[in-house]
A and B are shown apart, each in its own frame.
Chain A
Amino acid sequence: MSTNNNIAQARKLVEQLRIEAGIERIKVSKAAADLMSYCEQHARNDPLLVGVPTSENPFKDKKPCIIL
């Protein structure tokens, strides 16, 4: 019967919402602080952020060396 289906679905929804409602939350200010701290700590090891020296760049352009 479709009514039983609807009830089963509604029960599942309530069950799911109970799980999602029950979690602990931290303040956005704390979350933001942690993110900023992580980015700062790892910044100098981020090649795309600080740039890749040509000598260490595996994708550097392969140009022939012309000696004048």
Chain B
Amino acid sequence: MGELDVLKKEAETLKTQIETARKAVNDTTMEAASSGVAPAPRIQPKARRTLKGHTAKIYALYWALDNKLMVSGSQDGKLLVWDTHAGILANCVPLKSAWVMTVSFSPSAGLVASGGLDNMCTIVNISGEKPKTMRELDGHDGYVACSRFLSETSILTASGDQTCGLWDLETGKQKQSFLNHVGDCMCVALAEDQNTFISGACDSQAKLWDIRDGQCKQSFIGHTGDINAISYMPNGQAFITGSDDCTLRMFDMRADQEVMCYQNAQPTAGVTSLSLSLSGRLLFAGYDDFNCNIWDSLKGEKIGVLSGHDNRVSCTGIPSDGMCVSTGSWDSFLKIWN
């Protein structure tokens, strides 16, 4: 046998080994394990604020750590910073490229990052009198779908070029690249200790990475479509993903497999976004069908709906104090619910 054949055979053997090992620890399902847990209360949050200001589809939103400021990005070419308590606009950042797909704040909220079809991640300083572009991170060969700050000087990106990147904002250069996905990378989430992160991509897989050496540690299969959203469960040991396959799934990292699937009786709308409440019990998911469903994350039951948008819910977010959930939509509005 040539070397190629030997390697192919070894790859198949290893894949079987992984499947066998996963089956060996698959002694129950999350659903069965939680059958004794009391159902979560059927909550009906009210829309407390409707933020009007964008003039086109909203694609992304992000809460500041002060639990008050929130930034949204729209294809009207603007980032709007909102004082959500007062329900008013606090700042406006015009973008060079209107095709924005992601926005985020740095921990101090003095910087905002945006990225999109310009293949760049742009860092703007909004702490002064006027917004000032600080860096244009240029290096991806595809769109920037998601960006997350590790600190005031470091940011992680997910790109349509099938890679994720870690950037040094002092030099503007990429410090590390993460190569293993075979589809556009759509979303990332950072672990609390920032030593690892998880990514979701159009290859239907989620992956766990070591930030320092760029190594992919684990790959999670189960979805049958693009993964658009990903978020850690607050215990840091599991995460939830949302996909074009109309489902959300929970994966446990120590069990190395899917442990729960959240699927509507008639699954017709893709999941665009997701957020978890402070305890992790409530899962808010935005869908293409204009709704945001509320799921009991442990029991896998749908327990409520946030309806009020007139178009696709493209993004959701819950601030660090867990006091509300916000939704952003293609109808150009943002809503705050609790």
Contact = CB atoms under 8 A, between A and B. Distances in A.
Contact of A29 (B18, B27, B318): B27
B321 interface: yes
A58 B323 contact: yes
A7 B4 contact: yes
Given A26-B255, A31-B252, A38-B234, A10 B4 contact: yes
A22 to B, nearest CB: 9
Interface residues of B, number: 64
A11 B7 contact: yes
Interface size on A, as a range, is 35 or more
Contacts of A46: 277-279, 281-282, 322
A55 interface: no
B49 A59 contact: yes
Interface string A51-68: 110000111110000000
Q: Chain B interface mostly helix, strand, loop or mixed?
A: loop
B253 to A, nearest CB: 9
Interface of A: 3, 6-7, 10-11, 13-14, 16-21, 23-36, 38-43, 45-49, 51-52, 57-61
Contact of A31 (B40, B45, B259): B259
B60 interface: no
A59 B252 contact: no
A23 B25 contact: no
B90 interface: no
A36 B278 contact: no
A35 B85 contact: no
B96 interface: no
Given A42-B279, A59-B49, A25 B256 contact: yes
A52 B280 contact: no
A11 B335 CA distance: 50
Interface in B38-96: 40-41, 43, 45, 48-49, 68, 84-85
A32 B279 contact: no
Contact of B85 (A3, A30, A48, A59): A59
Given A31-B254, A49-B281, A21 B21 contact: yes
A48 B21 contact: no
B277 A49 contact: yes
B30 A35 contact: yes
B254 A38 contact: no
B237 A20 contact: no
A21 B22 CA distance: 10
